[in-house]
Amino acid sequence: MSVLILIISSLYFMLPAYLANMSAEVFSRIISPKIKFLARPIDNNKKWHGKPIFGSHKTWGGLIYASLAGIIVFFIQRELFVYSSIKQISLIDYSSTSLLLGFLLGFGAITGDLIKSFFKRRTNIPPGKPWIPFDQLDFLAGAVIFSLPMIILNWQNYLVIFLVTPFLHILINRIGYYINIRKDKI
């Protein structure tokens, strides 16, 4: 397997987690304000030792959107698996893999983000402010851990995922900043 194919196939496998991580923020801004339940914070604005558990920006809508995004992206990958070019870059046989893997990647990504937010609140870093490298790795760790019951990739794939994703994450966030989706560059 060439290095380029290794990188492409590793990143392609993680697409449900990547888009789940992005969708929570995007869809929460668009849809949640119209449906009050979805705009409610997961921690119900409760505090632990005087600090928010996750913060008011971690909503039920974000959790639901991220989980659905993982399933939808995985479903699309499954539909595209009929093409030989997609089969060549696929690490798994999407045609025989349950949509549950898409859910696990999406839900795992948002759970990793929630856990990081818990620790971020303990260190007094405000929501939305950078916490490098944790902002770039939290959702990955969650997605990988949650997907392990269904699939274990080889170490090279995990190495690529954890080395390349932080750069992609920063790049995507900067693009989001320049097109006025994000408030901060990183």
Indicate the average pLDDT of the chain: 90
Domain residue limits, the chain: 14-153
Mean pLDDT of 20-41: 78
Dig out the tokens for 136 from the structure: 């770039």
124-to-4, 59, 71, 89, 117 alpha-carbon distances in Å: 40, 20, 34, 42, 10
| Torsion angle defined by CA atoms of residues 70, 148, 167 and 42, in that order, rounded to the nearest 10 degrees | 50
Mean pLDDT of 33-58: 85
Cis peptide before 130 (omega within 30 of 0): no
**Residue-wise pLDDT tens digits, 110-143:** 999 999 999 999 998 887 788 888 888 999 999 9
Expressed in angstroms, the distance from the first to the final Cα of the chain is 33
Residue type, 104: L
Dig out the tokens for 162 from the structure: 């954890």
Residue 3: how many other CB atoms lie within 10 Å: 9
Q: What is the pTM of this model?
A: 0.89
